[in-house]
Amino acid sequence: MKYASLRRITSVAEASTFEQVKIQNPTASADYARQFYHEDLVLYESFFIIMLSRANKTIAYAKISQGGVSSTVVDPKIVCKLAVDSLCSGVILVHNHPSGNKDASQPDKDLTKKISKALSYLDIDVIDHIILTEDSFLSFREEGLL
């Protein structure tokens, strides 16, 4: 977990050089999240969360899951646990579509709704859900899906 200077939440403690930034729009969210992906952006689907302070400053991020070329399994309990552990006020959900199709699938929408509902009981807001592709992104907030 990274506080202030952003430590990564993993099963093995790992130092990171990601800077703390203020997320002010979906483009900033997508740009920040691209730091977590490399050539794997077009190989397999991965799901991350970015944890934010009340002022929308990044305080931590975590890789929740990594799957195959067309899906990954995300356990909302793990998302909630990591969000609570970081004492964040909001989260941005992020995953990629290796296919290059940035459209949200019904399972993407259902998962977002499920996580949003669970976190709402903890007074943690889902600020956005970003779907990344190699050359573009979709923001649930901008598309009215959140």
**CATH number for the domain harbouring residue 77:** 3.40.140.10
Question: What is the reported pLDDT for 38?
Answer: 84
Q: Is residue 95 part of a domain?
A: yes
CA–CA separation, 35 and 132 (whole Å): 12
Q: Is residue 144 part of a domain?
A: no
Low-confidence residues of the chain, pLDDT below 70?
1-18
Question: What is the reported pLDDT for 49?
Answer: 95
Question: What is the reported pLDDT for 14?
Answer: 35
CA–CA separation, 81 and 115 (whole Å): 12
Domain encompassing residue 38: 8-139
Question: What is the reported pLDDT for 3?
Answer: 46
Question: What is the reported pLDDT for 114?
Answer: 97
Counted domains in the chain: 1
pTM: 0.87
Q: Is residue 146 part of a domain?
A: no
- Strands (DSSP E) found in 10-141: 46-52, 58-66, 90-96, 125-132, 137-139
Q: Is residue 84 part of a domain?
A: yes
